[in-house]
């Protein structure tokens, strides 16, 4: 009926307002979230494909918003990047992840590498190296127990600066991985020049690995290329036994995905690490 239509239209326009209101308040609240201790980290294991041993973990930020509850990083990281807040937030993540890794080490757990995501705004920050050095030193971890994950898009229009930064990280034995590989600015020239430790194959290629021959070929191709360049490969988004079996057969070094574990709280990760083997 007509009146129903009007109600629906009203409802629709107010939900649009709620969306923009939410974005507006989120960016305001983001400024205070660090001081109010609303962020925490979860860890997602990186597993040796052959042995199912835990080799490392990716630190993933979580925001517990007082009104909205858990807000996904895919919603607030872009806002943090637009507003520049990603710099202090990213520093907090790095400090927290290094401290946590040191704690696990001091408990006598098997040594692992913890990887931390870096947005391009962080990489281009003045004195970024001093800030990384200081955080690593304060934490007491050895630099080769830290990995920094960057994406291909970081190189767009900042290629020289970012390449130079990676050279400096390498001198310090801090590891570097190229995240979401295959989704952006994948240049073979860059792969060769960067001396990366690891490529992380994006989860979009894994979804239809067994039914889509193109995705299957892309993964095989990346694995061969990485082998030739002596770069370690992690495949992300592995959810099923079939996907795992395929990647094992193709000799992908490491797996990260729900098949082994979702991102979990530090306490729960510690228990996994005690057992060391995922299967
Ligand atoms: P990412 O760096 O590609 O991280 C992997 C994302 O894929 C995580 O989502 C993880 O939970 C998800 N994932 C991994 N395996 C599977 C799987 O098998 N199935 C499914 N469905 N998902 C899987 P999350 O934690 O929501 O993070 C989303 C993105 O937010 C990250 O993507 C990263 O770009 C960004 N992010 C998270 N933490 C940070 C941070 O501390 N700093 C920055 N700059 N970005 C971050
Ligand atoms: Ca990542
Ligand atoms: Ca990724
Ligand atoms: Ca990503």
Pick the ligand that lies closest to the CA of residue 71.
1
pLDDT score recorded for residue 109: 98
Weakest-pLDDT range from 1-5, 78-82, 203-207: 1-5
Angle at which helices 128-139 and 86-106 cross, to 10°? 30
Name the residue among 237, 244, 256, 223 with its Cα closest to residue 147: 256
Name the residue among 242, 279, 247 with its Cα closest to residue 261: 279
Whether residue 16 has pLDDT greater than 90:
no
How far does residue 8's CA lie from ligand 3's centre (Å)?
A: 39
Whether residue 13 has pLDDT greater than 60:
no
Q: How many Cβ atoms from other residues are within 10 Å of residue 173's Cβ?
A: 11
Q: What is the mean pLDDT of residues 209-220?
A: 92
Whether residue 189 has pLDDT greater than 90:
no
pLDDT score recorded for residue 2: 42
How far does residue 188's CA lie from ligand 4's centre (Å)?
A: 20
63 confidence band (pLDDT: 50, 70, 90):
very high
Whether residue 39 has pLDDT greater than 60:
yes
How many CA atoms lie less than 13 Å away from 45 in the CB half-sphere?
27
Residue 70 CB–ligand 1 contact under 6 Å? no
Residue 117 CB–ligand 1 contact under 6 Å? yes
Query: Whose CA is closest to atom 25 on ligand 1?
Result: 60
Query: Whose CA is closest to atom 12 on ligand 1?
Result: 237
Pick the ligand that lies closest to the CA of residue 257.
1
pLDDT score recorded for residue 58: 99
Query: Whose CA is closest to atom 13 on ligand 1?
Result: 237
In DSSP notation, 138-163 reads HHT--GGGEEEEEEGGGGTTTHHHHH
pLDDT score recorded for residue 23: 79
Residue 237 CB–ligand 1 contact under 6 Å? yes
Spatial distance between the Cα atoms of 200 and 182, rounded to a whole number of angstroms: 9
Residue 56 CB–ligand 1 contact under 6 Å? no
Weakest-pLDDT range from 14-23, 208-217, 260-269: 14-23
Name the residue among 54, 71, 62, 61 with its Cα closest to residue 119: 61
Q: What is the mean pLDDT of residues 177-201?
A: 88
Q: Which residues surround ligand 4, an ion (CB under 5 A)?
A: 180
pLDDT per position as a tens digit, 129-146? 999 999 999 999 999 999
Spatial distance between the Cα atoms of 99 and 87, rounded to a whole number of angstroms: 18
- List beta partners, residue 178: 150, 199
Residues 6+ apart with CB under 8 A from 91: 122, 131, 135
> CA of 190: how far to CAs of 163, 186, 195, 256, in Å?
9, 8, 9, 24
């Amino acid at each position: 009926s007509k009146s129903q239509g009007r109600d629906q239209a009203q409802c629709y326009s107010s939900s649009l307002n709620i969306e923009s209101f939410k974005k507006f308040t989120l960016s305001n609240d983001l400024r205070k979230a660090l001081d109010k201790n609303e962020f925490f980290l979860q860890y997602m294991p990186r597993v040796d494909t052959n042995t199912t041993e835990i080799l490392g973990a990716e630190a993933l930020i979580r925001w517990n918003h007082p009104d909205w509850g858990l807000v996904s990083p895919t919603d607030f990281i872009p806002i943090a990047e637009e507003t520049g807040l990603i710099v202090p937030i990213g520093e907090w993540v790095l400090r927290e992840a290094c401290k946590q890794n040191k704690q696990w080490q001091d408990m006598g757990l098997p040594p692992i590498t913890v990887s931390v995501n870096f947005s391009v705004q962080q990489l281009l920050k003045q004195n970024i190296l001093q800030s990384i050095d200081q955080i690593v030193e304060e934490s007491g971890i050895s630099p080769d127990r830290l990995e920094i994950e960057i994406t291909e898009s970081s190189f767009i229009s900042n290629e020289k600066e970012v390449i130079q930064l990676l050279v400096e990280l390498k001198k310090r034995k801090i590891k570097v991985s190229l995240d979401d590989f295959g989704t952006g600015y994948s240049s073979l020239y860059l792969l060769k020049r960067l001396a990366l430790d690891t490529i992380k194959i994006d989860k979009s290629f894994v979804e239809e690995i067994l039914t889509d021959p193109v995705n299957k070929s892309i993964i095989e191709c990346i694995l061969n290329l990485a082998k030739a360049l002596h770069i370690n490969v992690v495949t992300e988004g592995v959810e099923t036994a079939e996907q795992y079996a395929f990647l094992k057969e193709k000799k992908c070094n490491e797996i990260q995905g729900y098949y082994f574990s979702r991102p979990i709280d530090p306490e729960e990760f510690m228990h996994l690490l005690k057992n060391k083997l995922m299967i």
